[in-house]
Structure 1
Amino acid sequence: MTKQLIAGNWKMNGSLAANQALLQAMLAGLGSPACAVAVCVPAPYLAQAKTLLASGAISLGAQDVSQHEAGAYTGEVSAAMLKEFGVRYAIVGHSERRQYHGETDAVVAAKAQRALEAGITPIVCVGETLAERDAGQTEATVTRQLAAVIAATGPRIGDIVLAYEPVWAIGTGKTATPQQAQQVHAVLRAQLAGACEQAAGIAILYGGSMNAANAAELLAQPDIDGGLIGGASLSAPDFLKIIAAARKG
């Protein structure tokens, strides 16, 4: 069992004033958590967050990373650039990137590889749509998405964090039941076990509307190693309650 990770994804939210108030409140109430904690902030706020998180109690994360190392890719942010800001984690393959920006499994895999090359841990997101779940394609979808990352990263697959985020439960208020989530996490764990010897140590997060009310039950499942938290990470009291629900590995 690996140490749990609670990672906040602020998405396209925040301001200089709001970020300062939020992070200061988080740090003030954090105490000595049983889990690792990170926040993934919008790129313009990386410098501010790096300063505010200088104590190291909360790790800094980015919400995306370019698949390219450098060059004429206007608007892209490379892994090397993120590393200079002290970024430890980078979300890749979030369903919103796949849906709104047309990111394919191959692109997601390339992004994970770039992050690893720069010494950044990619939080690789996989998940099925409601139509795929209703068609009985959940397992086929998530294993296909993970297989692309396994193929691209090879032996480095043991260095990733994986996040299962059922697309139908993101920002909808709907949440997979603990049993539904555990079932998919177990499938992903088995797939990782076939790819590397460190599968038991790879954190698999749940990322579908986890909140202060349902976190404890989800985090108690044997193969759920933390959460990728959206809306609840914008509220210090809610985020701290989720952190308090985590268990030690």
Structure 2
Amino acid sequence: MMRKPLVMGNWKLNGDTKMVAELIAGLKNELASVNGCQVAIAPPNMYLSQASDQIKGSLIELGAQNSDVNVSGAFTGETSPLMLKDVGVKYVILGHSERRTYHAETDELIAKKFAAVKENGLTPVLCIGETEAENEAGQTEAVCAKQLDAVLKTLGAAAFNQAVIAYEPVWAIGTGKSATPAQAQAVHKFIRDHIAKQDANVAKQVIIQYGGSVNAANAAELFTQPDIDGALVGGASLKADAFAVIVKAAEAAKKA
């Protein structure tokens, strides 16, 4: 089956009203002719409503960078999956290494968020990946399996129907170091095979993005790999032209 790649921009803690307006205008212009790739942007929560209004009539869909597990209640400072959905969000990034590191998010908490996001009709984008030390110790597959198993063991393989996984080696995020296409493909194949042990059909359709210093220069070669279905893009997603090159590379690789 043909998986339609998804290229998603994680804007992280960047932006203001003017920048959001300009960046989305630029993206709409640059991506007007694209049809072979799904595209999403994940601005800070503060600007989700503005972004939702601005992307109307384009192929760009809306993502959020995080969600709470609760839908409402006495949880000061949190944002619920229902609220995200209410302002037009489709995708929710979960378990990003920055959340795991700075907010001590555990595999168990991330699995609960995954369940809450799915229950409320949103598409989770589950970030998994190993640190440099884990990579050097040959632990890459073990770490990825453990992070996947938090969801597989609590929710079952079916939870990955209509879900996205983003393999982001922590040592490659914002460092300028990227896994080689062959290294990334090997891990993506491992991830797909790991899910296939429980359900081959679910494994076939799940979108597995690569993330970690994806840029205009390395995108094309990454996307020609059979198990790499697009990218979760950090820094390069803040420039319309750089992001568009990545989207078009994903589109071209799948058409080829």
TM range (shorter): over 0.9
Partner of 1:213 in structure 2? 217
AA aligned opposite 1:140: A
After TM superposition, give the deviation of residue 55 of structure 1 in Å. 1.1
Q: Does 1:204 align with 2:202?
A: no
1:44-92 alpha-carbon deviations (Å, 9 max, x no partner) = 0011000001114100000001122322211111000001011000000
Of 146-155 and 102-111, deviating more is: 146-155
C-alpha contact 1:112 1:153 (8 A) present in aligned 2: no
Q: Per-residue CA shift, 1:182-238, capped at 9, x if unaligned? A: 110010000111232221111000011100000000011010000000000000000
Q: 2:112 aligns with which of 99, 110, 113?
A: 110
5+ residue gaps, structure 1:
none
Q: Paired residue for 1:81?
A: 83
> In the alignment, residue 131 of structure 1 is paired with which amino acid?
A
Match of 2:244 among 224, 240, 245: 240
1:188 counterpart residue number: 191
Partner residue of 2:125 out of 123, 130, 134: 123
Separation in 2 of the partners of 1:116 and 1:132? Answer: 30
Q: Which residue of 2 aligns with 1:5?
A: 6
Residue 27 of structure 2: SS of its match in structure 1?
A: helix
Deviations 1:129-156 (A, max 9, x none): 0000111111000110011112233222
Query: How far off is 1:33 after superposition?
Result: 3.4
Task: Check whether the contact 2:28–2:58 (CA below 8 A) recurs between aligned residues.
Answer: no
Aligned length: 249
Deviates more, 1:178-187 or 1:64-73: 64-73
8 A contact 1:66–1:77 mirrored in 2:
yes
Residue type at the aligned position of 1:70 = S
Task: Indicate conservation of the 8 Å contact 2:131/2:170, yes or no.
Answer: yes
Q: Give the letter for the 2:204 counterpart.
A: A
Question: Which segment is superposed worse, 143-152 or 16-25?
Answer: 143-152
Distance in 1 (CA, whole Å) between partners of 2:195 and 2:183 is: 19
Measure the CA separation in 1 of the matches of 2:173 and 2:34: 29
> After the TM superposition, which parts of structure 1 deviate over 6 Å for at least 4 consecutive aligned residues?
none
Q: Distance in 2 between matches of 1:78 and 1:152?
A: 21
Q: What amino acid is aligned across from residue 80 of structure 1 in structure 2?
A: L
Distance 1:77 1:153 in 2: 23
Distance 1:153 1:20 in 2: 39
In the alignment, which of 220, 223, 227 is matched to residue 223 of structure 1?
227
Q: Does 1:98 align with 2:100?
A: yes
Residue pairs, 1:53-64, within 5 angstroms: 53-64=55-66
Q: Taking every aligned residue pair, what percent have the same amino acid on both sides?
A: 51
Match of 2:73 among 50, 59, 71: 71
Deviations 1:154-187 (A, max 9, x none): 2222221000000000000000000110110010
